[in-house]
Amino acid sequence: MIGNFLGVLFDGVAYGSLLFLIGIGLSVTMGLMNFVNLAHGAFAAFGGYVCVTAMNQMGVPFLASLPIAFVLTALVGVLLERTLYQRLYKATPLDQVLFSIGLTFMAVAGMTYVWGPIQQPVRLPEFLTGQVHAAGMDFGIYRLFLIAVVVVVTAALVYVVDRTRFGAQVRASVDNQQAAAGLGINVNRVFALTFALGSGLAGLGGGLGIDVLGLDPSFPIKFMVYFMLVVAVGGAGSIKGTLVAGLVLGIFDVAGKYYVPQIGAFVIYALMVVLLVFFPTGLYGKKT
Amino acid sequence: MTASPQHRLPDGRWRAAELAIWLLPVIGYFAAPNYLLLGSQIFIVGLFALSLDLILGYAGIVSLGHAAFFGVGAYAAGLLASHGWGEPISGLLAGAVAAALVGWVTSFLVVRGRDLTQLMVTMGIGLMLFEAANKAAFITGGVDGLSGMVMGKVLGVFDFDLEGRVAYLYSVAVLFLVFVVLRRMVYSPFGLGLRGLHHGPKRMPAIGASVYRRQIAIFTIGAGVAGIAGALLAQTTQFVGLDSLGFHRSAELLIMLVLGGSGRLYGGLVGAAVFMIAQNYLADLNPVYWQFWMGLLLVLVVMFARGGVLGGLAALQRRFGTKTK
């Protein structure tokens, strides 16, 4: 029973850290530019497809395909940001939602056209499969790897945001865009770089997540709500909030599917509505 | 120069252009007898879009889960009909009441937050109902859908026929009646108050109007109208699928409304007609590409044509003709 519970907790944490990794980019774009980007999942899916293509068609090893996914997705992200997204920063949330839904539909159709409608298989390298036995329990090695990657990425992110000049510019722009621009910070550049970083992380998450979340063209729509959820519950623009929200949602989702499979995804939606009713700006959101 | 439309005092008189629009279904009935099924679909979806227009275009509540109420209405009417109560009008009312009730209960959750929270809560409610209908297969039929309905005659006289003549006339009659009522409501002081919510949510309390109550009222009404549309679909097709609650339906609905132009009552109808006819032709070619074109259309409308078809027409009118004020 206890072992069971710990197993569920462990899977939930692995799943939640994946949600965090993909969601953090969304959180930052929402906190920084107030942009409701429903197409964020499409970036994650794109990263996943980059991984699969690099591995299956070019024979790149799995670990090497991940940075490629990060870089390519970041490039696509910055391209779209400069050409399309930045025109809509001042638009109403409705316009942004419609625009990003449109983009999502186009991405889904485009991915179906290029990669076909089927689930993409992923062959993990030998050393990442299997289980380790510790303290009377079995842990999937890949899930441990996932958690480790997310810990490293989080540490790097916190370092960048808290300790570097660029991080200070980002924080200043989140707090008060006008004042930041007035102090000589090139807010547009900060926006573009953050967007690139956010979409790159989504792409990385998409690549890492193929084994856990699966990958087919409906990915951006299927998981849209999860990513939005992580951000809405965590509070836009907060790394800590996104992390907590990702873990909480991951654990509840896995636990709900394990203990009460007959009501399935209901648990997570109910949790979301309840959390949003009590914390309308998220757990760590900016007070407005 | 003319004043922009929203500053004009409400003028509830019917205009010639409106009468012309309502002549179209009559002409369509005689001119395109092979497209009656498509026609009744357009009326139903048009009614659904109209209900979203009330809460989005007038009250400014962004909803990504409006299909929830459509689905509730559809299942309510469908369940009645499949359990032996086939009388259509009362089924329609049951759908409206059920959806309005769900809308009223959920409205308290929805109106609490601002844009993003509203978006997420409506989406969450939609997904929750979808999951509920999916899991409660012993009531709703689950993924197989609800079928086996036996519909009675409309008004005890007209039996639903295979060519869809009665379905067509029934749908357009319901659409017209509901439209007339809503049109009256929009031009009433209550309707003006709704516009106030949209344009100045901070000023409304200052003049003594409760934002909260109006939002709850309009959300409930919008849900009820969506329920009527859902019930109408259930009755005319005698089938209710899970997709009537799905996220896709909510998203497509937003697209139609924006395509037609929100906040104008007719926007939803025009958008639904354009969208459904385009879908009918393009989706036959390839369903996957259809989604691509739909997405592209949406992006283009947002970037270049805010206000949609009707917004564009109004801009043209302002530019070239000054005769109609």
Chain segment B90-145, per-residue pLDDT in tens? 889 999 999 999 999 988 888 877 777 788 788 888 888 888 888 887 877 777 77
Contact A95 B298 (CB under 8 A): no
Hey, of A219, A273, A288, which one would you mutate to test binding to chain B, going by the most B CBs within 10 A of its CB? A273
Chain segment A50-78, per-residue pLDDT in tens? 999 998 888 888 888 999 999 999 999 99
Chain mean position to CA B22 = 17
Chain segment A234-271, per-residue pLDDT in tens? 877 778 888 998 998 889 888 888 888 777 677 778 88
CA distance A152 to chain B (A): 30
Give 10-residue mean pLDDT values along chain B (325 residues). Answer: 50 78 82 83 92 87 89 91 83 93 90 76 86 81 76 73 81 92 88 81 81 89 94 87 83 86 85 87 74 84 76 75 50
CA distance A10 to chain B (A): 26
Model confidence band, residue A46 (pLDDT cutoffs 50, 70, 90): very high
pLDDT given at position B3: 43
Chain segment A153-165, per-residue pLDDT in tens? 989 988 988 899 9
- Search chain A and give the residue with CA nearest B115: A93
- Write out the DSSP string of A219-266: HHHHTHHHHHHHHHHH-TT-HHHHHHHHHHHHHHHHHHHHH-TTTTTH
What is the C-alpha separation between A280 and B6, in angstroms, rounded? Answer: 31
Average pLDDT, chain A: 85
The amino acid sitting at B3 is A
Query: Do residues B89 and B144 touch, judged by C-beta distance below 8 A?
Result: no
Chain segment B74-101, per-residue pLDDT in tens? 999 989 888 878 788 888 999 999 999 9
**A287: contact with B, CB 8 A cutoff:** no
pLDDT given at position B324: 46
What is the C-alpha separation between A181 and A192, in angstroms, rounded? Answer: 14
**B124: contact with A, CB 8 A cutoff:** yes
Q: Nearest Cβ partner of B121 from A30, A105, A273? A: A273
Measured between beta carbons, the chain B residues lying within 8 angstroms of A91 are 302
Contact B254 A97 (CB under 8 A): yes
Chain mean position to CA A264 = 22
CA distance A105 to chain B (A): 5
What is the C-alpha separation between B87 and B227, in angstroms, rounded? Answer: 17
**B37: contact with A, CB 8 A cutoff:** no
Contact B116 A102 (CB under 8 A): no
Contact B295 A280 (CB under 8 A): no
CA distance B120 to chain A (A): 7
pLDDT given at position B125: 86
Measured between beta carbons, the chain A residues lying within 8 angstroms of B68 are none
pLDDT given at position B9: 58
pLDDT given at position A148: 92
What is the C-alpha separation between B96 and B228, in angstroms, rounded? Answer: 5
pLDDT given at position B65: 87
Whether pLDDT at A136 is above 70: no
Contact B131 A269 (CB under 8 A): yes
**B282: contact with A, CB 8 A cutoff:** no
Q: Ranked by mean pLDDT, which of A81-90, A219-228, B42-51, B109-118 comes out on top? A: B42-51
DSSP helix/strand/coil, B125:
helix
Give, for A134, the enclosing helix (H) or strand (E). Answer: strand A131-134
pLDDT given at position B325: 40
Query: Do residues A139 and A132 touch, judged by C-beta distance below 8 A?
Result: yes
Q: What is the ipTM of this complex?
A: 0.78
Please indicate, yes or no, whether the overall pTM of this predicted structure exceeds 0.90.
Answer: no
Q: How many CB pairs under 8 A join A and B?
A: 127
What is the C-alpha separation between A276 and B119, in angstroms, rounded? Answer: 11
pLDDT given at position B322: 54
pLDDT given at position B295: 85
Q: Nearest Cβ partner of B135 from A36, A262, A276? A: A262
Hey, of B55, B116, B257, B303, which one would you mutate to test binding to chain A, going by the most A CBs within 10 A of its CB? B116
pLDDT given at position A1: 59
Contact B119 A93 (CB under 8 A): yes
CA distance B77 to chain A (A): 24
Give, for B191, the enclosing helix (H) or strand (E). Answer: helix B189-199
The amino acid sitting at B323 is K
State the average pLDDT over residues A80-90.
Answer: 86
| Structural tokens at position A11 | 């899977």
CA distance A129 to chain B (A): 33
Residues 6 or more apart in contact with residue A68 via CB below 8 angstroms: A50, A51, A54, A60
Whether pLDDT at A218 is above 80: yes
Contact A99 B117 (CB under 8 A): no
**A280: contact with B, CB 8 A cutoff:** yes
Cβ atoms < 10 Å from Cβ of B323: 6
DSSP helix/strand/coil, B158:
strand
Contact A236 B112 (CB under 8 A): no
**B159: contact with A, CB 8 A cutoff:** no
Nearest Cα to Cα of residue B50 among B218, B257, B252, B220? B257
* H runs (alpha helix) in B238-265: 247-260
pLDDT given at position A285: 63
pLDDT given at position A196: 92
Query: Do residues B123 and B131 touch, judged by C-beta distance below 8 A?
Result: no
Q: What percent of chain A has pLDDT over 90?
A: 21
Contact A101 B251 (CB under 8 A): yes
Structure-token match 């003319």, residue found: B2
Q: Nearest Cβ partner of A232 from B56, B120, B248? A: B120
Query: Do residues A215 and A55 touch, judged by C-beta distance below 8 A?
Result: no
Model confidence band, residue A288 (pLDDT cutoffs 50, 70, 90): very low
Q: How far is CA A224 from CA A23, A144, A230, A233, B206, in A?
A: 10, 25, 10, 14, 38
**B245: contact with A, CB 8 A cutoff:** no
Q: To the nearest 10°, the Cα dihedral for A231, A232, A237, A241? A: -70
Whether pLDDT at A286 is above 70: no
